[in-house]
Amino acid sequence: MPTIAFLANLSTAEHKRRWDLLNQHAGKDVNVIVADPSSSPGELIEALKDADAAVPWLASIPLDVAKHLPKLKLVQLLTAGYDSVDVIGLSKLGIKVANNGGSNAISVSEHTVSLMLSVYRRMMEAWSNTKAGEWRSGVDQLPVRTEINGKTVGIIGFGNIGRQVSRRLSGFDCEIIYHDVVELMPGRDGELGAQAVDLDHLLGASDIVTIHVPLNSSTRGMMGAREFNLMKSTAIFINTCRGPVHNEADLIKALQNGDIAGAGLDVLEEEPTDPDNPLLHMPTSIVTPHWAGGTGEGNERAVVFALSNLERVAENRKLLSVVDPVSIY
């Protein structure tokens, strides 16, 4: 019977929900155990010694623990991002790391579009004015709102999430362009009504720039002063992947100077962020607390995917959505 270890603090509701989903879907042929990631290395080694796979939630597996776990074959993430674990170090120990296989792609793409709409339609300002009793008189003082319809949307990173964003936007009659370091299968971009372009072209042509890339050495800070300066002054920037892919100081300056018109962010360089972060107080930015992927449906798909990969470990079959250590560089 294969054993899967869930690394989480069950005293929090978010962790407990995923623990319940694991137990609900695991079935009688899988042994599901839990380990507190705040335990000492010795306690973790003891707790995980029989695990074939580990599922860390908002946690990591230290290499000095992993090297004492000869049975461990897979670290299965419930997220698309893999920057929370040492993929290279684990691979040297013969332990593969897999992400969630796009399980949260629909959830994140819906949140992405909601941020686009919220920034364009000045939703937070309208809500604040309404709560203050100003009703339409307050709203009438806002700048003219904007439609998404017919806009050019540039998607940086055309993987599972980027493609789902493209699908969500099809009903808005947008022109979709994208940039990705990974070449799509022939005809795949045409199938989605998207056109591949280089990054500078995308930045200059887009009314909305939305980024969906993993965080690694090549993507860290890839949206900085130069990139924001290439964007239209009427364009908005959306980030629902990882905060460090944009340079926050440069983004703040671009908004303050009017180099770009707005930003919708689910992620920041540091989380939780300082309450005095200017992005929280600008009328042109909307920030949510890194929860774009956290829907009930997305959580369930991620758990089912994790268990399917555990089954592959037990049957010595090829694992799905394994992170290539080479891609980290």
Q: Which domains does the chain have, with CATH numbers?
A: 3-103+295-324 (3.40.50.720), 105-287 (3.40.50.720)
Give just the sign of the alpha carbon dihedral 178, 197, 265, 193. negative
The dihedral region occupied by 110, where left means phi > 0, alpha psi between -120 and 50, and beta the remainder, is: alpha
- Gap between the Cα atoms of 60 and 176, Å rounded: 36
- Gap between the Cα atoms of 4 and 29, Å rounded: 11
* pLDDT attached to residue 185: 56
Please name the amino acid found at residue 32.
Answer: V
Contact between residue 98 and residue 77 where contact means Cβ atoms under 8 Å apart = yes
- Gap between the Cα atoms of 271 and 290, Å rounded: 8
* pLDDT attached to residue 183: 65
User: CB-based contacts of 36: which residues, under 8 Å, 6+ apart?
Assistant: 7, 8, 9, 43, 47
Identify how many contiguous H helices and E strands the chain contains and give both numbers: 13, 12
* pLDDT attached to residue 329: 57
Q: Beta strand pairing status for 74-76 and 3-7?
A: unpaired
Torsion of CA 212, 321, 184, 89, to 10 degrees: 70
Residue 31 burial (10 A CB sphere; 0-12, 13-18, 19+): middle
**Residues classed as catalytic:** 242, 271, 290
* pLDDT attached to residue 326: 81
Contact between residue 308 and residue 320 where contact means Cβ atoms under 8 Å apart = yes
pTM metric for this prediction: 0.94
* pLDDT attached to residue 129: 85
- pLDDT, block means (10 residues), the chain with 329 residues: 96 94 94 96 98 96 97 98 96 98 98 98 90 81 88 97 97 96 62 90 99 95 99 99 98 98 98 98 96 96 97 97 84
Q: Which of 40, 43, 37 is nearest to 11 (CA)?
A: 37
Q: Beta strand pairing status for 74-76 and 236-239?
A: unpaired
